[in-house]
Chains A and B, each alone.
Chain A
């Protein structure tokens, strides 16, 4: 190692910080002890470095920086809290809204009663509460039958009292994932004629575990509708009647079914 190489190494040596017995520094320091010129240079260099270090550490810190950092932290914390709080409020509001919608529309299929009574309740709500837009609107019962037949739901039989009424329209619904035909009729006792007061729902009887619960000798009031259920040729029927005229027809249907 010559003097120039030793200077390069000793330039990095910080007395009191770096270990003098570090092999890299030890050899250069030993040479500085033997070489007066190098030793003098090292002494000057170390003194200059010490002053320079002090100059760096003299860098003044602006007044209030610490307080500003702490207050920024509080602002961020508050902002974070506010954001989280706002998010939580929005999430709760959304959850309540969805719950309300699902409850109103009864869109909890897995929690719904899968028996005949559940089917009946749901269909009444559909007829009275929602009354969805019909897939076909017509008074012609043949057209309604053909329309449903084209969609694979034409294998239903209208009891004769119903066959004498006028149709208003039809729609294919789903209940628990199963198709349900909805035929809407007007008994003739309400105006206008396009407004239904009889609602017939038809689906396969094996879509409920208790099709025998559809007892034609029993009319059950559900909400504003009088309901009559029966099963025939593998189909489950539910007839809802609204108002006196419709109920008279419903009674006729029940009477006919008793004769079967």
Chain B
């Protein structure tokens, strides 16, 4: 593999960190995950034969490392989804514009953990669902349902509180 380590870092450290931060919400953890990913690349990257897969390899590795650290901390349930709730909350662009990036990520952190990585990849990268499925090592149908479910939860969390104190179902502004 003729890829230069420095150019690889220059190209991918930012999106990898953003993905890591969207998963951990903690800067130090995100830095560690990003560094660990490149360290693994430095030691095992030569095993990758297809250079076009470098980016997805890095994201896959980072996600695995994240899962590994979480597995050590606590085992979270892996359950499958049925379908997205019938009534999807609608989120207005104006409402989203009121929020800053940390607030969005704080809301993502409240989404069920199993949905967080698919949703983060959905927003951060222009991957196809097939590629996201490969990165997360789950079937494509599962990825789609997790993203849909995760977006629905995120929308609910981002929607402005209703007068009763609960997030509104329709926050169209």
| B38–A56 CB distance below 8 A | no
**Bitwise interface map of B from 26 to 62 toward A, beta carbon under 8 Å scored 1, else 0:** 0100010011001100110000000000000000000
A52 contacts B96, CB within 8 Å? yes
- Which of A51, A52, A53, A70 lies in contact with B9, CB distance below 8 A? A70
Residue contact B10 to A66, C-beta cutoff 8 Å: yes
Choice from A7, A56, A77 contacting B104 with Cβ under 8 Å:
A56
Q: A62 near B: Cβ within 8 Å? A: yes
Q: Are B123 and A59 in contact (CB under 8 A)?
A: no
Q: Which listed segment binds A: B65-73, B84-92, B160-168?
A: B84-92
Taking chain B's interface residues, is the majority helix, strand, or loop, or is none over half, making it mixed? helix
Q: From the candidates B17, B34, B83, B93, name the one contacting A48 in the complex (CB within 8 A).
A: B93
A132 smallest CB distance to B (angstroms): 51
Q: Which residues from B are CB-within-8-Å of A17?
A: 126, 128
The DSSP consensus for interface residues of chain A is helix
A-B CB pair tally, cutoff 8 Å: 115
Tell me which of A12, A44, A59 contacts B144 (CB under 8 A).
A12
- Cβ of B92: which chain A residues have Cβ within 8 Å of it? 44, 47-48
B101 lies within 8 A of A55 (CB): yes
Contact among A4, A47, A52, A72 with B123 in the assembled complex (CB-CB below 8 Å): A52
Contact between A56 and B120, CB atoms less than 8 A apart: yes
Cβ contact within 8 Å between B86 and A4: yes
Contact B9 A55 (CB under 8 A): no
B13 near A65 (CB under 8 angstroms)? yes
A41 to B91, CA, bound (A): 9
Once the chains bind, are A73 and B42 in contact (CB under 8 Å)? yes
Cross-chain pairs A/B with CB under 8 angstroms, 29 sampled: A8-B88, A8-B148, A11-B152, A12-B144, A12-B147, A14-B122, A44-B172, A48-B95, A50-B93, A52-B96, A52-B104, A52-B154, A53-B124, A55-B99, A55-B101, A55-B104, A56-B18, A57-B18, A57-B123, A58-B101, A59-B18, A59-B21, A62-B17, A62-B31, A69-B9, A69-B13, A69-B38, A73-B42, A77-B42
Residues of A within 8 A of B (CB): 4, 7-8, 11-12, 14, 17-18, 41, 44-45, 47-53, 55-62, 65-66, 68-70, 72-73, 76-77
Footprint of A on B, CB under 8 Å? Answer: 5-6, 9-10, 13-14, 17-18, 21-22, 27, 31, 34-35, 38-39, 42-43, 83-84, 86-88, 90-93, 95-97, 99-101, 104-105, 120, 122-124, 126, 128-129, 144, 147-148, 151-152, 154-155, 158, 172
Given A52-B123, A68-B31, 16 new contacts (CB under 8 A): A8-B148, A55-B96, A56-B22, A56-B105, A56-B123, A56-B124, A59-B22, A61-B17, A61-B18, A65-B31, A65-B35, A66-B10, A68-B35, A69-B34, A72-B38, A73-B9
